[in-house]
Structure 1
């Protein structure tokens, strides 16, 4: 019996040695690994914003990522109902190596234990821990109370603000508005005084994409969107308080007089953009970056255009304070069931290098832009359509400079955001609360319900659902 055991142990040892020999046989004389010992790096990524604008461009974008990183990526881009798709996929245990989201959705998934903690990995990364790449204060936006971090930024988020047709103001001889009354008179003129010169009644003063984002006007009442968490931990939603009533009544007046686009509640951002670019509306509420993008689109269409978009700080409260919205951080996270978490982290480091900044903004070399022998960059026709946005408009990396410079008007708009914008507070409860808030605010604006009644019922329903504490 002992002899048999010895033979078995020797056989096992021999197999181990043979396996080791086979592994080391793939190394060359210098001891370095050859291609035969290296597994192909792959990633499966879910996103709503990153990649090409068409399926053909998207495939080229994936190839460009592989060329630059050596990682074979499959980027599944979901343009509509993204959060629902993300939640469904995660709940079903579908495996992705990286998923894109904003802070409110991250709050939900962190609460569910669905995301990998990245605190130590970020600290250990020379790229991600470099404050010149991602400023230290930015990390505070996505660090939880226990000091843990579960994601890495996709880009630097600016903020939302009223964007006005400055050329319409000048054409009609109007002053830049600063109070709600000022805005009413300017918006009424935009709707009634033929600012686009067509001779037809085909313009509105204002449009939005639902409540996205009326904060610049709610600022007049000192009312902040989403949650405010008091020192004792109690939750309030200022949009559901009496302070908001006068602003809802102001919107209702615009709606009743045909100054506010009647489709505001069902518009998506694309509808809003199209109305602004096609000379149909004088003010939209959108991102600071889009001041430059709007101006650039029209300049590309017609270098002699009079079109001029400008970002405004909204309306100050009685103390002269402005309250604009700083955008929810957009981030990449690694699910806990990811197959290739180390490769995912490698991709996140690449995303914040100059090469990653270039592909995420300009797109694919020789498809979206070209570089001549003198290092001069030029956008192709496809590049002009994409408008330097392949998921990122402004990278976090302060070491990177866009070779095309800054788009017209955007620096001034960003200065307003930096001075006046504040992050909003979201919790895991906000997606449920938002539905209630939207329903009653829409009812108040469209006149289906008096503003005071809408606020009272909104507050009561939120309280009954345990979504607020007072």
Structure 2
């Protein structure tokens, strides 16, 4: 009897040993694989596959604007690794060479786990179609930060409605109107609220000596060859953002909208009356703000945050003029208050399928990206370590890295991993009242921006002929404003746009739109 018991004990020990060896030799050739056992994950299901005992190795491809990006020994990187429970290898790419390096990396087939995608380029779209990146849309709601991504921005960054990268969110309502506040005060004018008010202000800025020097040397608004201001201002008239939608759900290009001619006639009036600079069609955008700074022009339609940069230059030249600029978001037109949004993002962080092979691993990477939106990580990646890279003095942020190249190298560039979802939470320097106004208006703008219903659609026609089609319409707008063509000539250019691929483009966009409904 005893021998039988001893025999059974030996058999049990033998089976147990086999199980232990099998467990230790689990096929984990890809970094970060979990065994999937209940003992390892416990009830920590909210971590979306994140193991508390085992760190995943993670390669991250992002741009750098520095000649000396952080090294692997950066204490900031170590803090990020500890917080996110990842072993991170940063693959820094000079921003000036980003697209080339991105395409080379795509061609190599050896893709890092996380890649910053600069834009929806044909090479990225082709890689998506070839299955190189994970579709993330169905998973975002499982994460506390990523689940709060702006829906318009997600749509804008998507490919035919599917999410292949987490957008690095930027202000969607960034566009606005920058005005010489001192000129308003000199002429006793209020900030404009309607298009008529806006026109009357520009006229006064040209004709009523707003700078008080007794000379006829001012005009209303400065525009450069960058077409953005015209795109913004035409939305004030109710013109759609790129594509409008009719009562039957059909999409049509913005320049076929009934309100487009009203906007163009307004622009032509500004030009004919000398309220906009005569050389706008050839003016270098790099010099766009100079006339406002120099006291020649009183208005610029641009991103709102250009306002404080202009103000700083004016004050530097004339310290007594300490409050020269104000900003507004838009003026009201015949169909209400509208504004043109930006795309709302600056690149996106995509997850490759070549390095991230399983659904479980993909969730671990999403967990990493979600944690990078936590306040602690935003501060770490943007500002560094408190007491070393920055200090808080009476609650005010003070950077310590400006004059210390070594400290700067430890921090500089990690913010390229930030998505700022649902909002930016890192420290910023003390701001002026103008900074605060700009930030407030960016938020208010989100209620009036006009979404592009076709933003996410990828058109084969446009990929081949888009530049040619855009040039036809943009050139026609300029020619109409300056009087080189009339309305009949404009219609001829639109017909030329149709013949050169525009008709096919409309048809394809509508096919995509119907498929997306």
Given the two structures, how large is their TM-score scaled by the length of structure 2? Answer: 0.64
- Does residue 428 of the first structure (1) align with residue 458 of the second (2)? yes
Hey, what's the Cα distance between the residues in 2 that align with 1:368 and 1:186? 50
Q: How many residues align?
A: 424
Change (3 A) 1:63 1:370: same
| 2:481 alignment counterpart | 445
The one of 340, 352, 355 equivalent to 1:325 is: 340
2:7 is aligned to none
Q: Provide Cα deviations, 1:351-380, integer angstroms capped at 9, x if missing partner.
A: 3121443366x5556899721476541246
Residues 99 and 334 in structure 1, CA contact (< 8 A), matched pair in contact too: yes
**CA spacing shift, 1:64–1:380, aligned 2, 3 Å:** same
**2:270 alignment partner, one of 248, 254, 276:** 254
SS of residue in 1 equivalent to 2:330: coil
Tell me the distance in 2 between the aligned counterparts of 1:274 and 1:107: 37
**Counterpart in the other structure of 1:377:** 397
How far off its partner does 1:226 sit?
0.5
Consecutive unaligned residues in structure 2, runs of 5 or more: 1-17, 29-39, 41-53, 82-87, 511-517
Question: Residue deviations 1:403-448, cap 9 Å, x none?
Answer: 5566231244235413322222323346714333322222222333
Q: Given the alignment, which residue of 250, 253, 262 partners 1:237?
A: 253
Question: 1:382 Cα deviation (Å)?
Answer: 4.6
Gaps of 5+ in 1: 1-12, 24-30, 32-36
Q: Which of residues 303, 307, 332 is equivalent to 1:287?
A: 303
Alignment of 1:312 with 2:332, yes or no, is no
Give, in whole Å, the separation in 2 of the partners of 1:189 and 1:45: 49
User: Aligned residue for 2:85?
Assistant: none
Q: Distance in 2 between matches of 1:273 and 1:79?
A: 24
The question of whether the paired residues in 2 share the 8 Å contact of 1:245 and 1:452 is answered with no
Q: In the alignment, is the contact (CA less than 8 A) between 1:445 and 1:451 conserved in 2? A: no
Change (3 A) 1:174 1:143: same
How large is the RMSD of aligned CA atoms in angstroms?
Answer: 4.9
The Cα shift of 1:224 comes to: 1.4
2:75 and 2:245 map into 1 onto residues whose CA distance is 44
Distance 1:152 1:238 in 2: 29
Q: Report deviation, 1:90.
A: 8.0
Q: Does the C-alpha gap of structure 1 residues 377 and 173 become closer, same or farther in structure 2, counting only changes over 3 Å? A: same
Higher mean displacement: 395-404 or 292-301 = 292-301
Structure 2 CA distance, aligned partners of 1:233 and 1:86? 41
Counterpart in the other structure of 1:397: 422
Residue 461 of structure 1 and its aligned partner are, at CA, apart by 1.1
Contact 1:163 1:284 in 2 (8 A): yes
Distance in 2 between residues matched to 1:103 and 1:117, nearest whole Å: 15
Which digits, 9 at most, give the CA deviation of each residue in 1:184-233, with x for residues without a partner?
Answer: 33224434555456777665422345221434421343211201244655
Tell me: CA distance 1:355–1:251, structure 2 relative to 1, closer, same or farther (3 Å). Answer: same
Bigger mean CA offset, 451-460 vs 87-96? 87-96
CA distance in 2, matches of 1:442, 1:208: 12
1-structure distance, mates of 2:365, 2:380 = 17
Contact 1:177 1:183 in 2 (8 A): yes
Paired residue for 1:73, among 90, 104, 107?
90
Cα distance in 2 for partners of 1:373, 1:323 equals 41
CA contact (8 A) 1:289 1:413 kept: no
Once residues 237 and 62 of structure 1 are traced to their aligned partners in structure 2, the CA distance between those partners, rounded to angstroms, is 53
Partner of 1:349: 370
Q: Does 1:154 align with 2:168?
A: yes
State whether residues 158 and 288 of structure 1, in contact with CA within 8 Å, keep that contact through their aligned partners in structure 2: no
Q: Distance in 1 between matches of 2:387 and 2:278?
A: 40
Structure (1 or 2) with the larger CA radius of gyration: 2
**SS of residue matched to 1:177:** coil
Aligned to 1:125: 143
CA distance in 2, matches of 1:380, 1:140: 39
Distance in 2, Cα, partners of 1:443 & 1:64: 57
* Mapped contact 1:444–1:450 kept (Cα < 8 A): yes
Distance, in Å, in 2 between the alignment partners of 1:64 and 1:441 is 54
When structure 1 is superposed on structure 2, of 339-348 and 410-419 the one drifting more is 339-348
What does 1:184-199 correspond to in 2, within 5 Å?
A: 184-191=199-206, 193=208, 195-196=210-211
- Partner of 1:158, secondary structure, is coil
Match of residue 207, structure 1, among 188, 198, 222: 222
Preserved CA contact (<8 Å) 2:166 2:350 = no
Secondary structure, in 3 states, of the residue corresponding to 1:163? Answer: strand
| Aligned residue number for residue 238 of structure 2 | 222
For 1:358, the equivalent position in structure 2 comes to 379
